[in-house]
Structure 1
Amino acid sequence: MHEACSIVCNSGHAHRTGESAGQRRLGPAADRPPRPAVRRRRAGRRAGAATATALGRDRAAPPAAAPAAAAVAHHGARQSGLTYRQLPSTRLLALDLPVDATRDTLRGLLAGLDKVLAAASAGTLADPRLSGAAPVSSLAAVGAALAARLKLDLPAELADLPAFPGDRLDPARSGGDLLLQVSAEHPWTVGVLTEHLVSAAKPAAVRWSQAGFLPPVPGGETPRNLFGFKDGTANPDAADPGLWNADGTILVYRRIRMDTAAFAALPTAGQELAMGRRLTTGAPLTGTAERDDPDIYAKHPDGSYIIPADSHVRLSSPRLDGGARMLRRGYSYDDGPADRGLLFCAFMRDPALFTRVQNRLAEKDALTPFLTHNASAVAWVLPGSRPDRPLGATL
């Protein structure tokens, strides 16, 4: 019917009132194919329409550029590496100063690093490879050994950790006079910034360097570690006053190799009992939602704990330490199939808290057979800087 109507309209015939489609007859002119002139006019109209469409596409405005990422404020009471959200790509860098370094050497070196970090955060560091690289966050910390060597006036709690059962620490991957961390959205940015930091830190030498990452997650969700569990659910807020001492705090770093293949071989129920949380939701075994507070004293009718006595969640519970908490901002690392795991970075006023927790975990944590601690460091995270007062100016 559509085809017949089109031919009738184009041939100039009008419909007779009262006739149905079946009653209408096409005249001799309608039965003939269109004349050449008609065909040429139709072809011209089709070609013109196609040309107009193509021109419309050519003249269309280009897609709007993505808005530039906001720069991270470098200057402030506290360093951006702790106050800004965790960025997905990071590098930890440990530096050793010359043995004859003085406090003036340290202050001058920190001032040079502060200049680089401030420019990187503002997006003004002179390097074409960093075009559009914001945001960038960073922190700088003074190692416990250097603080003792230079007799710096830092909190008495700053001290190296004791040995823990099962530690397999590599001295070449541990310690350091200065610890730096720079984080960004992409490893490319982190790598370029590392070059600038190493150059600005001379005459200090690199002791060790370690890259880390977070898995891609929807905004606001807790990232997962390489065992597949959510990691960082029960964190305090970074503004918690219990973490800070005059706008500085203490970093405890541990490099923990994870035997992911052996852990994955456990049935899901066994993994959840070892962790004390559900694999899919992150909820504690005593709750239904990720943020539910784990009830480490709840029991089954037979008297056994719902969250097992040897589970990771129970042994690391703040309830066993009078409610004291550490801020965990860990990253995964992947240095090859046989060396993958967690870069445990935790911040607290007193590393004695970590010592208590780690002693409990080393003694009976169900995860211990799947973990190897192979590097460690403790450092004082300096207060933030100002344009007129660089990092370390008050040391």
Structure 2
Amino acid sequence: MHRADHPLSRRALLDVTGVVVAAGLTAGCTSDSARPGRPAPSAADTPTQVPATGRHQAGVTLPHTAQRNLLAVVADLDAAVAPGPLLAELGQAIRTLTAGNDPRLLGLPPGDLTVTVGVGPRLVRAAGASLPGATDLPRFSRERITPQARGGDLLLQICASDALLVPVAAAALLDQTRDRIRERWRQSGHRGTNVPIGKGLTAPRNLLGFIDGIVGPHTSAEQQRDLWLAGPPAVAGGTIAVLRRMELDLPRFAALSVAEQEAVFGRRRASGAPLSGGSVSSGPELGAKTPDGRYLVPVDAHVRRAHSAMVGAGLMLRRSYSTDEPAPGLLFISFQNDLRTFTATLTRMDTSDALLPYTTTTASGTFLILPGFDRKRPLGSQLFG
């Protein structure tokens, strides 16, 4: 991770890119795919391109299965910078990068590269104090967050199946805007192997060994209800994102027995099925009890404390990416059309969720993910036009 309170220089960005590309090429020379006699990857192995334009920005529900690699960059706009022109310029750059028409990709095919842009509460309030996205996140327990790692004006979420594409695209976008933004913090992350969870859906395991992101607004009806903003017009088609970078106490969690670990989550570690029975796609039966009156899903289990029915809020589309520096942990990202969905859930978890004692949050922010854009409707024009 790199933190900065000043713009990165062009040379620094190019040096970082060169090192990453060189490292990737070196790793490729020793991988199975490069062994003598092994066929080169075919075009069928290249992920399908994801259109950057449309009603919604790419990188939330498109592609259907989230890419394996992510870099989140949080920055502030300099005081004299107008957000509208900057965002329109970013949108144009994103279109050329994801279409493969930008020489700054250094010859790499764009694959399923997506760049998703969000703006923080300060900028949203400048456009309208009552707009969705204008509210800062409150503080919660188990946080160790420096002022530099809290909040921010601008979010760039860069995702791709090809790990090399992520830093290359980031270098291009940050170099283009380096005289107008100041980076706060960044975090890269990776998702594990996807596990089928039913109805054509998959989810990865997290660093604690459990399947992550089983419950969410997966159907179109659920997404219209809980994910996408319907209005006002300035934000229609957008959503609200929350980012939380967490350190995980892996040794202490690993010291628990499997049964104790499962009681923390309320699910079976191997299958993802709730402790109340059924399959990974089954909803937990929170009222189910043993013959002696104990809840099958413990009262402090994560699946109970965070359950939307218990919270009285909507569903979150949750994405977690495992991290290995600055410490083993995860970057948690949730998308919802009401910030209360997240804040009410974490407030309830804060009181007694068995998972939280194994986590420490070290960075946090919320961002309005801007509505989609196209050639005639630049990125951010609905809000800052």
TM-score, scaled relative to structure 2:
0.81
1:231 corresponds to which of 212, 220, 233: 212
What is the alpha-carbon distance in structure 2 between the residues aligned to residue 181 and residue 309 of structure 1? 35
What is the alpha-carbon distance in structure 2 between the residues aligned to residue 117 and residue 312 of structure 1? 38
Structure 2: gaps (5+ residues): 1-38, 230-235
Q: Deviations over 1:222-247 (max 9, x none)?
A: 20110000000112127411211111
What is the alpha-carbon distance in structure 1 between the residues aligned to residue 139 and residue 249 of structure 2? 22
- Tell me the residue number matched to 1:347: 335
Whether the 8 Å CA contact 2:111–2:162 is kept in 1: the answer is no
* CA positional deviation for 1:112: 1.3
Secondary structure in structure 2 of the residue aligned to 1:376: strand
Counterparts of 1:273-352 in structure 2, within 5 Å, are 273-322=263-312, 324-336=314-326, 339-352=327-340
Q: Deviations over 1:15-62 (max 9, x none)?
A: xxxxxxxxxxxxxxxxxxxxxxxxxxxxxxxxxxxxxxxxxxxxxxx9
What is the alpha-carbon distance in structure 2 between the residues aligned to residue 370 and residue 271 of structure 1? 11
* CA positional deviation for 1:290: 0.4
- Tell me the residue number matched to 1:171: 147
Query: Structure 1 residues 64 and 126 mapped into 2: Cα distance closer, same or farther (>3 Å)?
Result: closer
Secondary structure in structure 1 of the residue aligned to 2:73: strand
Aligned residues: 328
Q: 4+ residue runs of structure 1 moved beyond 6 angstroms?
A: none
2:202 corresponds to which of 214, 221, 234: 221
- Tell me the residue number matched to 1:146: 123
Query: Structure 1 residues 73 and 151 mapped into 2: Cα distance closer, same or farther (>3 Å)?
Result: closer
Secondary structure in structure 2 of the residue aligned to 1:343: strand
Q: Residue type matched to 1:259 in 2? A: D
Query: Structure 1 residues 380 and 269 mapped into 2: Cα distance closer, same or farther (>3 Å)?
Result: same
1:122 corresponds to which of 96, 99, 109: 99
Whether the 8 Å CA contact 1:158–1:378 is kept in 2: the answer is no
What is the alpha-carbon distance in structure 2 between the residues aligned to residue 136 and residue 368 of structure 1? 33
Counterparts of 1:30-41 in structure 2, within 5 Å, are none
Bigger radius of gyration = 1
Secondary structure in structure 1 of the residue aligned to 2:106: helix
* CA positional deviation for 1:217: 3.2
1:380 corresponds to which of 363, 368, 371: 368
Counterparts of 1:108-119 in structure 2, within 5 Å, are 108-119=85-96
Query: Structure 1 residues 269 and 218 mapped into 2: Cα distance closer, same or farther (>3 Å)?
Result: closer
1:72 corresponds to which of 38, 50, 57: 50
Same amino acid, percent of matched pairs: 36
* CA positional deviation for 1:133: 3.4
Query: Structure 1 residues 81 and 294 mapped into 2: Cα distance closer, same or farther (>3 Å)?
Result: same
Q: Residue type matched to 1:75 in 2? A: T
* CA positional deviation for 1:168: 1.8
Structure 1: gaps (5+ residues): 1-61
Query: Structure 1 residues 132 and 229 mapped into 2: Cα distance closer, same or farther (>3 Å)?
Result: same
Whether the 8 Å CA contact 1:255–1:343 is kept in 2: the answer is yes
* CA positional deviation for 1:157: 5.5
Secondary structure in structure 2 of the residue aligned to 1:228: coil
Whether the 8 Å CA contact 2:209–2:269 is kept in 1: the answer is yes
Does the alignment pair 1:160 with 2:144? Answer: no
2:355 corresponds to which of 359, 367, 372: 367
Secondary structure in structure 2 of the residue aligned to 1:329: strand
What is the alpha-carbon distance in structure 1 between the residues aligned to residue 166 and residue 359 of structure 2? 27
Q: CA RMSD in A?
A: 1.9
Q: Residue type matched to 1:383 in 2? A: P
Query: Structure 1 residues 325 and 112 mapped into 2: Cα distance closer, same or farther (>3 Å)?
Result: same
Q: Residue type matched to 2:212 in 1? A: D
- Tell me the residue number matched to 1:83: 61
Secondary structure in structure 2 of the residue aligned to 1:222: strand
Query: Structure 1 residues 64 and 159 mapped into 2: Cα distance closer, same or farther (>3 Å)?
Result: closer
Secondary structure in structure 2 of the residue aligned to 1:208: strand
* CA positional deviation for 1:128: 5.3
Query: Structure 1 residues 332 and 64 mapped into 2: Cα distance closer, same or farther (>3 Å)?
Result: closer
Secondary structure in structure 2 of the residue aligned to 1:335: coil
Q: Deviations over 1:279-324 (max 9, x none)?
A: 0000000123100110111111121111000000000011113461
* CA positional deviation for 1:153: 6.4
Q: Residue type matched to 1:280 in 2? A: A
What is the alpha-carbon distance in structure 1 between the residues aligned to residue 219 and residue 177 of structure 2? 28
Q: Residue type matched to 2:342 in 1? A: F
